[in-house]
């Protein structure tokens, strides 16, 4: 388990939910690469309304033609690990926004699964 406390960097990637990488959602590729890189964690948040550099508003409101809602992927880890991961984001994100923020991790504790408990959805711990 990765240990993380104190000073850290938060990278937030803003893309559209319809953005893809090799025929799968781009946010999925980013999360899986962050996991493979051993980063402390990554979460994906789906927005209900927003616009970006194109100035086209995307919304969940009824009668709206837009279904490409905004998505934010948030990753937090040490500065060294996050900066080492940035070239992968440069490769993946063709349209969107990538920002870095300094932050302080107060508490980072994972769940310890008992044998037979479900860890990742549908997967059992051994």
SS3 90: helix
Task: Give the residues across from 14 on adjacent strands.
Answer: 72, 97
Q: What DSSP assignment string belongs to 10-64? A: EEEEEEETT-EETTEEHHHHHHHHHHHTT-SEEEEEE-SEE--TT---EE-STT-
- Determine if the pTM surpasses 0.85: no
pLDDT at 103: 94
Quick one: CA dihedral 56, 96, 100, 3, positive or negative?
Answer: positive
**Do residues 47 and 118 make contact, with C-beta atoms less than 8 angstroms apart?**
no
Q: What is the pLDDT of residues 8-60, one digit of tens each?
A: 999 999 999 999 999 999 999 999 999 999 999 999 999 888 777 777 777 76
């Amino acid at each position: 388990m990765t240990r993380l406390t104190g000073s850290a960097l938060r990278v937030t990637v803003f893309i559209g939910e319809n953005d893809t990488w090799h025929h799968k959602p781009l946010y999925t590729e980013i999360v899986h690469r962050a996991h493979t890189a051993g980063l402390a964690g990554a979460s994906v948040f789906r927005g209900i309304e927003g616009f970006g550099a194109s100035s086209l508003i995307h919304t969940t409101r009824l009668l709206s033609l837009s279904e490409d809602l905004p998505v934010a992927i948030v990753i937090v880890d040490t500065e060294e690990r996050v900066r080492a991961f940035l070239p992968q984001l440069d490769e993946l994100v063709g349209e969107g926004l990538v920002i870095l923020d300094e932050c302080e991790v107060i508490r980072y504790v994972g769940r310890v699964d008992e044998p037979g408990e479900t860890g990742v959805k549908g997967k059992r711990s051994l």
